[in-house]
Amino acid sequence: MSERQAATACDGTIDSQDVMTIEEVLRRENMLVAYQRVKRNQGSAGVDGMTVDELMPYLRTHWARIREEIREGRYRPQPVLLVEIEKPGGRGTRRLGIPTVTDRMIQQALLQVLQPQIDPTMSESSYGFRPGRSAHQAVKRAQEHVGAGHRWVVDMDLEKFFDRVNHDILMSRLARRVKDKRILLLIRRYLQAGMLEGGVVSQRIEGTPQGGPLSPFLSNVLLDDLDRELERRGHRFVRYADDCNIYVRSERAGERVLASIETFLGKHLRLKVNRSKSAVDRPWKRKFLGYTVTAHREPKLRVAPESVKRFRDKVRELARQGRGRSLVWTIERLQPLIRGWAAYFQLAEVKAAFEQLDTWLRRRLRCILWRQWKRPRTRAKRLMKLGLERQRAFTSAYNGHGPWWNAAASHMNQSVPTRFLRQLGLPSLIEEHHRLQRQLRTAVYGTVRTVV
């Protein structure tokens, strides 16, 4: 019996290198799971125009050839389709590279083989795009660091990270863990696949554009070097994808850390820190994953002002789309936004933002009604129909103020009360938050009882 076989017999495990092979990637069961994941996620067609629904008929005819090309190192991925989407808050655009559905399936199959073996070896302080880890966990860990007395943060932004990844450095980091050269060759070809923009295909010499299943995983492989360097230096930090916050005890220490890590990133990973977006500051003056903290000795989580502004912008856009439509139409489209926002910010311990937004939402909806009524006579009739006495209805309808002022006035609050909007289906952010907080406490309490 060989040493490897003996080790396997003792602990019941197998060497990860034995698992991370192209044969494991192409195994029928693995490919079926990859296909089902791609089908479930749907998504846009790539440069070949093939939709998810057309993938299976195509595979029945062509999969045998594709599989042999991959096995023999001859497979060439098709270019990705460039799509630009606006960043939140109007901060420019984000470039997405959409692979064909066939290449999305192959990338997913690669991910299913590589991630289970490589992910457990990564840093405990990394949370983005990792199974069993979430933004909420990252936010809680950041809160713990501030509560432990590290009340300065190095908020570090990597300049155009996904567009600037150096292929050679990334592949060298991957080659430390993966020995099957056919896997490495396939991944390099995915990195170098051209990008279709304006009808012209341009070759890529750097970057791993967002849009494919492999991209987030590869970004973690590369930035694991940063995590290890921060751990080696004994720093407290939290990283979520390319968002990295390092927590220190003084401003001077933070400036020192930022300068030295900037040098490390440039020298070892060929990455550049965006100084205009990076800063050494108090944690309660910066945001992390949409949250910030209070300045208390035991900091409380709260919604960052930028997140509140982004929510209002989305509601305004929905309100514009709803002009000329019924209030019920607008509320139905607000429901998933409100519930999703409340769910993401369920960790917030300061509730003021939820209460203020509830009030603002109701005012926004009353404003829509006032605009829809248009003429003063119509407004008077509507107000009377909703229960306002005649004299007050006509006085209010002809007051000469604009829709936003009237939306907060007593005549609209009385005619269109909160109860009426709730009956139309408007959820309450503060009530959603209370409900989610109760569920969270129940889950934690139940876990504690089980452990005890």
Q: Yes or no: say if 294 and 317 are a contact pair by the CB < 8 Å rule.
A: no
Residue 9's pLDDT band, with cuts at 50, 70 and 90, is: very low
Torsion angle, alpha carbons of 433, 439, 443, 448, to 10? 80
pLDDT at position 202, please?
66
Half-sphere exposure for 315 (CA within 13 Å, toward CB): 23
48 φ, ψ to 5°?
Answer: -85, -5
Residue 338's pLDDT band, with cuts at 50, 70 and 90, is: very high
DSSP assignment of 175-217: HTT---HHHHHHHHHHHH--EEETTEEE--SB---BTBTHHHH
DSSP assignment of 405-452: HHHHSHHHHHHS-HHHHHHTTPPPHHHHHHHHHHHHHHHHHHHHHHH-
The CA radius of gyration of the chain, in Å to the nearest whole number, is 27
pLDDT at 14 over 80: no
pLDDT at 51 over 70: yes
pLDDT digits over 15-33, tens only?
Answer: 555 678 999 999 999 999 9
pLDDT digits over 147-206, tens only?
Answer: 999 999 999 999 888 888 999 999 999 999 999 999 999 999 999 887 776 666 766 777
- Mean of pLDDT values over 329-354: 96
pLDDT at position 322, please?
78
Query: In angstroms, rounded to a whole number, what is the distance separating the alpha carbons of residues 34 and 105?
Result: 5
| Residue 421, token pair as written in the block | 């909007």
CB-count exposure of residue 363 (10 Å: 0-12, 13-18, 19+): middle
Query: In angstroms, rounded to a whole number, what is the distance separating the alpha carbons of residues 332 and 233?
Result: 51
pLDDT digits over 270-320, tens only?
Answer: 999 999 999 999 999 999 999 999 999 999 999 999 999 999 999 999 988
- Mean of pLDDT values over 81-105: 79
pLDDT at 90 over 60: no
pLDDT digits over 56-88, tens only?
Answer: 999 999 999 999 999 999 999 999 888 877 766
How many Cβ atoms from other residues are within 10 Å of residue 154's Cβ? 24
pLDDT at position 17, please?
56
Residue 8's pLDDT band, with cuts at 50, 70 and 90, is: very low
pLDDT at 452 over 50: no
The mean predicted confidence, pLDDT, of the chain is 90
pLDDT digits over 383-399, tens only?
Answer: 999 999 999 999 999 99
pLDDT digits over 104-162, tens only?
Answer: 999 999 999 999 999 999 999 999 999 999 999 999 999 999 999 999 999 999 988 88
Query: In angstroms, rounded to a whole number, what is the distance separating the alpha carbons of residues 379 and 21?
Result: 71
Q: Yes or no: say if 80 and 58 are a contact pair by the CB < 8 Å rule.
A: no
pLDDT at position 365, please?
95
- Give Cα 46 distance to the centre of its chain: 22
Residue 267's pLDDT band, with cuts at 50, 70 and 90, is: very high
The percentage of the chain sitting over the pLDDT mark of 70, rounded to a whole number, equals 91
> What is the model's pTM?
0.86
How many Cβ atoms from other residues are within 10 Å of residue 134's Cβ? 13
Helix (H) or strand (E) holding 83: strand 80-86
Residue 450's pLDDT band, with cuts at 50, 70 and 90, is: very low
Pairing of strands 243-248, 236-240: antiparallel
Cα-based distances in Å from 157 to 87, 97, 239, 277: 15, 21, 11, 6
Q: Yes or no: say if 207 and 219 are a contact pair by the CB < 8 Å rule.
A: no
* Strand locations in 224-345 (E): 236-240, 243-248, 279-281, 291-293, 301-303
pLDDT at 253 over 70: yes
